[in-house]
Amino acid sequence: MGNHQHSQFGHRSGIIEQEASSSLRLLHQEKRQRFRSPAVTGSFRVTPNSANLAAIQVKGWGVTLNWNDQFKNGGYFVSANLSDDKNKVVKYDGSVSYGAGINAALPGMSTNSIFGYRSDGYFDNQQEVESVPRRTPSTGIGDIKLIDVNNDGAINQGNNTEANHGDLVYLGNTNSRYVFGFNAGVNWKGFDISVLFNGVGKRSLLLEPYATIAFYDGWRMPWAIHQDYWTPENPNAKFPAIRFSDRVNDQVSSHWVQDASYIRLKNLQVGYTLQKKVHKMNAFGDIRVYFSGQDLWEKTGMWYNYFDPENTDRVGFSYPMWRSYALGLNINF
């Protein structure tokens, strides 16, 4: 069992005459219900059970605004919401290791913090290759250039402790910030249209390097590798030079961290209603015909745009995003 401390402040207001309403929510929460698997040395060859090890502090806020009104032969509504929360691991009773990739619970950091190497483009010639430290001797022209952050003449992860995690740096976290939504619609003389937008204002996403390297996991290799990889004529490519058995560019680095903020047209609906009282239909009630579209458009900060920014668990493998369209007819008797 776990325990948590929770405090919340809320405020609501409304203006009935103009049919408007608003609400504000402030949140402060500390909970000890985050179950994590403790770190175990790989030589044991066992998978430890999850334990109640972490205490997480969460602070956040949210605001919602609504407005609707009527006019001659119609009406409209507008609704918007915005919320944000950030967390911090205030206590962790397990073994702490600063590793390359997503770290679930590091004391003093947000959950799901990404640590990796800082990159600086590609090596464009042999002189560049030989002028700076390299993580491995096989690093060559067209490979991702990793920075020696601690200036010790080597590129490594140190001993993965808070005091010494080598050249690993904080590259963001995968938690969603500034989550928003916007919904609006209007109707007039039987015609209606409504839209729903949603999105996230700030979030980092780590592309698993092994899923983006040519000849590594070919079944999930993106087609863009064939169109935009490093060559002397294409030095600013999205992907490093293609090579067999690539164990150079598969390291977690800022090169593979994406800006996963996005805005999406989640739903669009357009319709027309034949109203019984207007058209004097004795055999039927109201009849409505409509078009509906789901996930019709989005704009994201990711340059790796093969997968759904709303469902980040699908990035790197699984199926690409879908768009759906429907025509409908509702008949009331």
**Does position 332 have pLDDT exceeding 50, yes or no?**
yes
The whole-number pLDDT of residue 27 equals 75
**Does position 69 have pLDDT exceeding 70, yes or no?**
yes
Q: 10 Å Cβ neighbour count for 200? A: 21
Query: What are the DSSP E strand ranges found in 133-203?
Result: 144-146, 169-173, 177-188, 191-202
**Does position 153 have pLDDT exceeding 90, yes or no?**
yes
Tokens found for residue 332: 């009331």
**Residue range 256-315, pLDDT digits in tens:** 999 999 999 999 999 999 887 766 667 677 889 999 999 999 999 988 877 788 887 666
pLDDT-based confidence at 187, cuts 50/70/90? very high
**Does position 37 have pLDDT exceeding 70, yes or no?**
no
Q: Which is more confident, 245 or 33?
A: 245
Lowest mean pLDDT segment, chosen from 24-28, 109-113, 135-139, 176-180: 24-28
- What residues have CB less than 8 Å from 267, skipping those under 6 apart? 194, 195, 196, 292, 293, 294
- What residues have CB less than 8 Å from 282, skipping those under 6 apart? none
**Does position 12 have pLDDT exceeding 80, yes or no?**
no
Domain residue ranges of the chain, discontinuous segments joined by +: 114-167+208-250
Instruction: Give the predicted TM-score (pTM) of the model.
Output: 0.84
**Residue range 219-255, pLDDT digits in tens:** 666 666 678 899 999 999 999 998 877 788 999 999 9
Q: Which is more confident, 28 or 94?
A: 94
The whole-number pLDDT of residue 42 equals 44
Q: Tell me if 180 sits within 8 A of 199, measured CB to CB.
A: yes
**Does position 50 have pLDDT exceeding 70, yes or no?**
no
Distances (CA, A) of 254 to 5, 42, 149, 268, 298: 36, 27, 13, 36, 24
Rounded Cα distance between 172 and 295, Å, is: 27
Lowest mean pLDDT segment, chosen from 24-33, 139-148, 277-286, 313-322: 313-322
**Does position 194 have pLDDT exceeding 90, yes or no?**
yes
Phi and psi angles of residue 66, each rounded to the nearest 5 degrees, phi first? -135, 145
Strands 177-188 and 191-202 come out as antiparallel
- What residues have CB less than 8 Å from 131, skipping those under 6 apart? none
3-state secondary structure 95-132: CCCCCCEEECCCCCCCCCEEEEECEEEECCCHHHHHHC
The whole-number pLDDT of residue 41 equals 44
Q: Tell me if 16 sits within 8 A of 69, measured CB to CB.
A: no
The whole-number pLDDT of residue 40 equals 45
The whole-number pLDDT of residue 23 equals 85
The whole-number pLDDT of residue 1 equals 42
CB-neighbour burial class of residue 172 (10 A; exposed 0-12, middle 13-18, buried 19+): buried
The whole-number pLDDT of residue 147 equals 98
Q: Tell me if 44 sits within 8 A of 158, measured CB to CB.
A: no
Q: Tell me if 213 sits within 8 A of 253, measured CB to CB.
A: no
The whole-number pLDDT of residue 43 equals 44
